[in-house]
Amino acid sequence: VRRSAKDEGHMYEVHPVAGDGRCLFRSVAIGMALRGSGGRDDVGTETARADALRNAAVDELERRRAEVEWFIEGDFEAYCTSMRRTRAWGGEPEILSLARVLGVRIEVFVDEEKPRETRRLRSIGVYGGGDDDVCDDDARDDAESVAVVFRGAGHYEALARCDE
């Protein structure tokens, strides 16, 4: 089931994602597939790509440890070990890493508090896209971007712009 939502100027199609611990990584994998072929991959391919993205994100965290360790709560090595587990939820550190590894901007939205029939999205961050880890608003419309919506409780779903 796909649903539509919009931010201030664009319509998005929401691609639901299972809450299996891979949701962030699967959402980014879906976004990349939609950018590439215009369609979603089969579930097995999505799962394999999500797992590969998870490992790439953790590899990037480890590679850049000196720059990012302060950003991780608790023991860095334990965090990375935990993040390699399939059911570990990804968050902002992994989004930053994925944006760098993939060379794309990742924009994160949340639903505004409105009835479902008038659902609106609000951007809460744009990651990647150059020397800075967080982009300014001018970078939002770049073709090299992936969008996800954060639903709370650690859950993400994929978004695809449908007004282009």
| Residue 20 annotated as catalytic | yes
| Residue 155 annotated as catalytic | yes
60 Rama sector, left if φ>0, alpha if ψ -120 to 50, beta otherwise? alpha
**What distances in angstroms separate CA 26 from CA 121, 139, 144, 146, one per listed residue?**
20, 23, 18, 12
The catalytic residue among 7, 23, 133, 135 is 23
Alpha helices in 64-134 (DSSP H): 65-68, 76-83, 92-102
| Residue 80 annotated as catalytic | no
The catalytic residue among 51, 142, 155, 162 is 155
The catalytic residue among 20, 75, 132, 163 is 20
What six digits make up the tokens of 28? 């980014």
Question: Are residues 65 and 80 in contact, defined by beta-carbon separation less than 8 angstroms?
Answer: no
- Which residues are the active-site residues? 20, 23, 155
